[in-house]
């Protein structure tokens, strides 16, 4: 994939995240996979997406700790 294809896919993920909170974990996992692929291909990962990835990971870890 090229940079434009990644941007389009990420845009679709964000739209899905806003529209269906029940799928947040699945969308987050897809975001992680997309960013990992970008990193593996040597593409730059935007700083705001890295920050979002870390923020969401922390939120899910906190939820798991509170529920477990």
* Polymer length in residues for the chain: 68
The string over 10-49, giving b where at least 16 C-beta atoms fall within 10 Å of a residue's C-beta and e elsewhere, is beebeeebeeeeeeeeebbebbeebbeebeeeeeeeeeeb
Q: Look at residue 16 and tell me whether its pLDDT is greater than 60.
A: yes
pLDDT, residue 40, reads 95
Quick one: tokens of 39? 């990193």
Dihedral angle computed from the Cα positions of residues 52, 62, 18 and 49, in that order, rounded to the nearest 10 degrees: 10
pLDDT tens for 30-64 read 889 989 999 999 999 888 889 888 988 998 899 88
Place 67 in a pLDDT band, splitting at 50, 70 and 90: confident
What does the angle CA 19 – CA 21 – CA 12 come to, to the nearest 5 degrees?
Answer: 45
pLDDT, residue 54, reads 92
Domain boundaries, the chain: 3-67
């Amino acid at each position: 994939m090229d940079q434009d294809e990644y941007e389009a896919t990420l845009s679709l993920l964000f739209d899905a995240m806003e529209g269906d909170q029940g799928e947040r974990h699945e969308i987050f996992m897809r975001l992680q996979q997309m960013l990992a692929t970008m990193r593996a291909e040597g593409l730059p990962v935007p700083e705001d997406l890295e920050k979002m990835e870390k923020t969401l990971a922390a939120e899910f870890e906190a939820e798991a700790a509170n529920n477990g």
